[in-house]
Amino acid sequence: MIIGLTGGIATGKSTVSGLLKEKGFAIIDADVAARKVVEPGQAALERIIEVFGSEIVTEEGTLNREKLGAIVFHEEAKRKQLNAIVHPAVREWMLSEKEKAVQAGSRTIILDIPLLFESKLEWMAERTLLVYAAPAVQLSRLMKRNNYSEPEAAARINAQMPIEDKKALADDIIDNSGPLNATKQQVEDWITRLNLCV
């Protein structure tokens, strides 16, 4: 069974991913993939250098994320160019890791993809699991976690697909608005209900 795990900013997706990892489930993380595919020697990094110039790499040959970020954050066309290079490489890496996990005997594989719905990647999984938190909870957590003012936190939340829209798209939901124990119990119940084996 391939599960697509997603959430919104400050909903606690990493917490749930961690709980599932502790239980022995194979977790394939899109954020890890995004770092791997731009390591020195990777085709995606070579292509990024071709498009954005050699000044976006450090003297050691690694990607200078700050310099690249400064370019793409202000120009949507450039951001789209970057995504067109990185996203396919990330998907390829994740699918290859999924195959390795299948070969190793994993019966349930969790694909941890923050932008699962935004990127229309539901096809990669048989079911989707959303880690949900009420918008007010998201806001207060993000302010506390990142030391943001309310407008700063709200701007980051509003830049994402609304969590309520994601809720409508998900097959399963873990409501992480409350205490950790309640979340842990929901994870247990979900595993039991779907009869998932590691």
17 is in an annotated binding site: no
Show the tokens assigned to 170: 């998900």
12 is in an annotated binding site: yes
96 is in an annotated binding site: no
SS3 141: helix
11 is in an annotated binding site: yes
Residue 19: phi and psi, rounded to 5, are -65, -40
Show the tokens assigned to 10: 């400050």
190: nearest Cα among 138, 137, 130: 130
Q: Which amino acid is at 101?
A: A
159 is in an annotated binding site: no
Residue 26: phi and psi, rounded to 5, are -75, 120
62 is in an annotated binding site: no
Dihedral angle at the C-alpha atoms of 124, 126, 127, 128, nearest 10 degrees?
0
Residue stretches of the annotated binding site for ATP: 10-15
Residues comprising the binding site? 10-15
